[in-house]
Structures are given as structure tokens and as C-alpha cells.
Amino acid sequence: MIGFIGAMQLELDGIQALMTEKQTETVSGIQYVSGRLGKNRIVTAVCGIGKVFAAICTQTMILRYSPTLIINTGVAGAISPLLSIGDVVVADKVVQHDMDTSPIGDPVGLISGINKIFFDTDKKTSDTLAESLARLNINTLRGTVATGDQFVSSTEKKTYLRDAFGAVSCEMEGGSIGHVCYVNSVPFAILRSISDKADEGATVDYPSFARTSAERYVNVIADFAENWRE
Ligand code: SAH
């Protein structure tokens, strides 16, 4: 069973349209749609915006569906100048950029207790996603994705996220999904197409491009599902 999580319905519309034998259940206000994608059993859920909804959804999906892998699909802002709208990021690792206990001596981004700043994504899954993207001729960048409860729309904040964490892209759920997967020992991957450049133009670009950018990875997921081996 592969789990797919998107923050918004438009981020899962394409994948859910490809599913067969669909069944739904709602837990804590989040709808889980399970069924088949080709030869794979999958479960999909629209979690809502931000880290708390993403965590609720990921933990519930793990407890009720026991996925062997969770993939977060969606749109994101570009930090790297190598990324244009419509390009796709496959995360190598995720970080929660708004986690900050640095005034009392910790490094910025440190999650106390487990004492980690970054969560690594599953390499085999990320490699397989990158192969699908290459087959479909979609410009792809691999790197760190920075997550926070904040829509980033300034050059100053972008520069901070690049300098502080080496981030290539920013969004609002991936770091939380990675955190929950880590504590449950579930492998995870992040696939995000660029809807905006997280700069002063992002407030115009995001509403214009979110839907078309989300459509960019639907064929990628279909190709991935064909080629995925447990
Ligand atoms: N009220 C809006 C909020 C959307 S927030 C709504 O419900 O539609 C933007 C979403 O897209 C988040 O899920 C986030 O993960 C992603 N995203 C795209 N561009 C982003 C950016 N520049 N900064 C942060 N998140 C971004």
C-alpha cells in the first residue's frame, strides 16, 4: 500500500481520477480514498494546509492503512534560481524552517528530543520518481525542501531559507509529513511542482499556476506506479 498526501484537492484530483475500486472513509474531518492505481493498492488524502493538518493526516494514514511508503505530492515555491514554474522538485531531505529554539542555544530548525534538523527522504523512491520525470522530459531538481506555516513571498525570506538550510524549494507540509514518517519508521518522498517563485510575484503567480502545475506530475505518478517495486 502506497499513501499519497496532498494539502489541497487540486493536488490529488489527477491521481484520484486514475484510481479504481475506490472506497472512502473520513477520520477527524479528513477523507481517505483508497483503491488501486494500476497494480498497486494506494490510499490518498487531502490533508489541508500547514504542518498540523499534515501531521494529523500522516499519523492517521499510518495507523489505519499501514502504508509501506508515503509520497507527498503538491505545489511549492521555488528558491533555487534553477527552477521555473512547472518544473518539479524531488526532495532529498526536508526541514521545518519555523522550528526555532536558537535563543537558548540550539541550531535553527532543531527538533528537540529526536535532535534532528533534517529528515531524509527514501532514496530508492526518490530515484524512481526522478527516472519517471526524466522519461517524461520534465525539468527536475533534487535538494532540500523547507517547510513552515507560512506562505513565502519575499526575496529576503527566500535568501534566508537558502542560506540557513540550503533549501531549493519551500512549502507548508512536507517537513511535517517527514517528521511523522520518521517517528513511525515509514519511508517517505516529496514530489512538488513549482507554482510560484516565493518572491514578491508569488501572490499573483500562485493562484494563476497552482492548478496547471499540479497537473504536471499526474503522468509522473502513473509512470512511477508502473515501475515501482517494493
Ligand atoms: N488559503 C489557501 C492557502 C494556500 S497556501 C488555500 O487554501 O488554497 C499554499 C499551498 O501551496 C500550501 O499547501 C503550500 O505547501 C504550497 N505553496 C506553494 N507556494 C508556496 C510558497 N511560496 N510558500 C509556501 N507554500 C507554498
Strand residue runs (E) in the chain: 2-6, 20-27, 30-37, 40-46, 69-78, 88-96, 118-120, 140-147, 167-171, 188-196
Asked, for residue 63, whether it belongs to a domain, the answer is yes
Pocket test for ligand 1, best of 151, 191, 196 (most atoms within 8 A of CB): 151
The set of cell numbers assigned to 69 is 511508503
Contacts of 172 (CB under 8 A, 6+ apart): 7, 49, 50, 51, 54, 147, 148, 149, 150, 151
Supply the CATH number for residue 176's domain. Answer: 3.40.50.1580
CB 230 within 8 A of CB 131: no
* Full residue range of the structural domain in which residue 14 is found: 2-225
Q: State the average pLDDT for the chain.
A: 97
Number of other CB atoms surrounding residue 125 within 10 Å? 21
Q: Kindly give the distance from the C-alpha atom of residue 207 to the centroid of ligand 1, in angstroms, as a whole number.
A: 9
User: What does DSSP assign to residue 111?
Assistant: B
Ligand 1 atom 3, closest CA: 49
Q: Kindly give the distance from the C-alpha atom of residue 38 to the centroid of ligand 1, in angstroms, as a whole number.
A: 30
Asked, for residue 33, whether it belongs to a domain, the answer is yes
Atom of ligand 1 nearest to the CA of 76: 18
Asked, for residue 49, whether it belongs to a domain, the answer is yes
Confidence at 230, pLDDT banded by 50, 70, 90: confident
Asked, for residue 220, whether it belongs to a domain, the answer is yes
- Across the range 7-12, mean pLDDT stands at 98
So what's the pLDDT on residue 218?
A: 96
- Across the range 164-171, mean pLDDT stands at 98
User: Which residues are near ligand 1 (CB < 6 Å)?
Assistant: 7-8, 49, 74-77, 151-152, 170-173, 195-196, 198, 202, 206
Q: Residues 30-52: pLDDT tens digits?
A: 999 999 999 999 999 999 999 99
So what's the pLDDT on residue 24?
A: 98
Asked, for residue 215, whether it belongs to a domain, the answer is yes
Q: What is the reported pTM?
A: 0.98
Positive or negative, the CA dihedral 172, 215, 4, 223 is: negative
Confidence at 229, pLDDT banded by 50, 70, 90: confident
Q: Kindly give the distance from the C-alpha atom of residue 34 to the centroid of ligand 1, in angstroms, as a whole number.
A: 25
Asked, for residue 206, whether it belongs to a domain, the answer is yes
Asked, for residue 230, whether it belongs to a domain, the answer is no
Positive or negative, the CA dihedral 15, 13, 137, 143 is: negative
Ligand 1 atom 1, closest CA: 49
How far is the C-alpha of 47 from the C-alpha of 14, rounded, in Å? 16
User: How many helices (H) does the chain have, and how many strands (E)?
Assistant: 7, 10
Distances 50 to 24, 58, 67, 171 between C-alpha atoms, Å: 23, 12, 22, 9
CA angle 211, 4, 92 (to 5 degrees): 90
Pocket test for ligand 1, best of 161, 171, 216 (most atoms within 8 A of CB): 171
Q: Total structural domains in the chain?
A: 1
Judged against a pLDDT cut of 90, whether residue 122 lies above it is answered with yes
Q: Residues 53-72: pLDDT tens digits?
A: 999 999 999 999 999 999 99
Asked, for residue 207, whether it belongs to a domain, the answer is yes
Q: Kindly give the distance from the C-alpha atom of residue 187 to the centroid of ligand 1, in angstroms, as a whole number.
A: 24
